[in-house]
Structure 1
Amino acid sequence: MKSRQALRFLSGTALIALIWVVLLPLPTWAIEPVKMTPTEQAVLEIVRRHPDVVLESLTAYRDQQLADEAEAKAQALEQVRQNLSAFVGNSPVRGNPAAPVMLIEFADFECPFCVQAYQPIAALLQRHPQVGFVFKHLPLIGLHDQALPAARAAWAAGQQGKFWEFYDELFASGEPLADDRYPRVAQRLGLNLRRWERDRNSIAAQQAIDANVVQAGELGITGTPSFLVVTPSSVVPVTGADLITIEQVIDSSLD
C-alpha cells in the first residue's frame, strides 16, 4: 500500500512539476513573459498555493481512466463469451470448434516466450482433448523482424488446410525464422507453392492478421503469449505462459 501511494505521489509530483514548467514565465533574457488573463493568473495562483488540490485532481483523473479501461475490458471479454463464434471467425481451430471450453492464444511466431509455451500447451491439450484451441496472430513487428512474414506464411498455409502443420513446423523445430525457410516448409508440407506464394503476399493475408491485432487491442492485450480461457460462464484472460492458472480454470469448468 505504501509503495502504491508513493508511486501515485511521484507521478502526481512529476505532473505538477510539468505544469509549473509550462506555466511559470521564463526569464526575460530567454523570452518575453507570456501575458496572462486574470483568469489564468487566478488558476496559476491556486496551483502555487494548493498543489495538493492539483495532485488530488490528477490522481482522481488517473484513477477514473483506469476504472474506465477496466470496465471496457470487462465488457469486451463478456462480448467474447456471448459471441464466441463471431470472435473466433475464420481463425484456425485445433480440436472441436464447438468444445465446452476454448483456449485462445494470441501469439507471435518469433516471440521466445511463445516458443517456450508451445510444448506445454500441446501437452495440456493432450490431457484435455475436450478443449478447443484457437490461434490468433499478434506479430510484435516493433520487436521481431520475422513476426509478420511468419504470420503471413502460416496464414497462407491455412488457405490450403495446413495451418496447424505449418504452426508445428515453425514452433517445434527450433530452427530460426528466415525468409528462405517458409518456402521450404511449404514445399515439405506439399502445398501448392504458386498459390501459397500468392496468398501470403495478398491483401487478404494482411487484413486477416490486422483483424486479430484489432481484437487484441480491444481486449487490452499488448504482449505475447496471451490467452483467453472461454467457458460457458466466463472468459478468463491469462497473461504469459501461466499454464497453472490456465489448467486450473479448465479443470474447474469441466468438473
Structure 2
Amino acid sequence: MDPAGTRPGAIRPDDHACGPLDGPPVVLYGDATCPRCQDATRFLRAAPVRLVWRHLVLRARGPRPRALAGALEAAARQDAFWPFLDRLLADPGRQDDPDLWALARELGLDVERFERDRRDEAATARIDADLADGLSAGASGTPAIVVAGGVDHGIPDEAWIQALLAERAT
C-alpha cells in the first residue's frame, strides 16, 4: 500500500476535511456551482464519514467555478472553509462577487484579505493541484467521489453509505 498522500485521492494533511476522524475517508472532487455537487456535499456532510473537499474546476463550465474555488481557498485561510461552502451551497443563486463579499462579511472575515487571497498564486496553485489530482484519480466530471482508490460519479444515498460502512467493518 502506498503511504498516505502518494496515490491520487489519498488524504493529505492540508486537505479541507470535516466529520468524524474515525469515519471512512471520502474525497469529493467538486465544483460549488454544480447542483449535483451541492446535493452530494450536503448529503455527505450529514453522513458519518471523514469528508474531504477538493476542487475539480473544469474549463468547460466557464469562469465562475474557478472564482468560487478561489473564494473557498481565501475563506480557508481565515478558518472558514466549511462555513463558507455550506453557505454557498445553501443559496446557490448568490455566487457573484458582491454576494461573496457579503458572505465574507457575514462570517466575520477580513474582506480585504479575502479579496487578495482568493486571487493570489497560492490559491491558484491549490486549485490546479486539486484538479490534477482528481484527473489522476479518474475524475471525469463532477461530482467525483473517491473511496478506497475507486471513483464514483454519482450522488451518494443511504444505501451507498451503508455499503461503505459495512465494507469498512469487514
1:246 is displaced (CA, Å) by 4.3
- 1 or 2 for the larger relative contact order (CA 8 Å, sep ≥6)? 2
Whether the aligned pair in 1 keeps the contact of 2:45 and 2:51 (CA below 8 Å) is no
Could you say what secondary structure the match of 1:153 adopts? helix
1:172 is displaced (CA, Å) by 1.4
Choose the corresponding residue for 1:248, options 142, 163, 168.
Answer: 163
Q: Quick one: distance in 2 between partners of 1:217 and 1:174?
A: 25
Q: Please say if 1:133 is aligned against 2:47.
A: no
1:199 is displaced (CA, Å) by 0.7
List structure 1 segments (4+ residues) > 3 angstroms apart after TM superposition: 84-87
Q: Quick one: distance in 2 between partners of 1:100 and 1:174?
A: 28
Q: Quick one: distance in 1 between partners of 2:161 and 2:130?
A: 21
How many aligned residue pairs are there? Answer: 166
Provide Cα deviations, 1:136-188, integer angstroms capped at 9, x if missing partner: 01112322431000000011000010000001010112434212211111010
Structure 1 pair 134–118 and aligned structure 2 pair: CA distance change class (3 A): closer
Letter in 2 for 1:159: R
Q: Please say if 1:118 is aligned against 2:36.
A: no
Structure 1 pair 95–119 and aligned structure 2 pair: CA distance change class (3 A): closer
Whether the aligned pair in 2 keeps the contact of 1:110 and 1:144 (CA below 8 Å) is no
Q: Quick one: distance in 2 between partners of 1:176 and 1:120?
A: 21
Sequence identity (%): 28
Structure 2 unaligned runs (5+)? none
State the match for 2:120 in structure 1: 202
Provide Cα deviations, 1:13-50, integer angstroms capped at 9, x if missing partner: xxxxxxxxxxxxxxxxxxxxxxxxxxxxxxxxxxxxxx
1:196 is displaced (CA, Å) by 1.1
Alignment of 1:104-115 (within 5 A): 104-115=27-38
Q: Which has the larger radius of gyration?
A: 1
TM-score, reference length from structure 1: 0.59
1:191 is displaced (CA, Å) by 0.4
Letter in 2 for 1:152: G
Could you say what secondary structure the match of 2:145 adopts? strand
Q: Please say if 1:168 is aligned against 2:83.
A: no
State the match for 1:93 in structure 2: 17
Q: Quick one: distance in 2 between partners of 1:100 and 1:114?
A: 20
More helix by share: 1
RMSD between superposed Cα atoms in Å: 2.1
Q: Quick one: distance in 2 between partners of 1:114 and 1:151?
A: 13
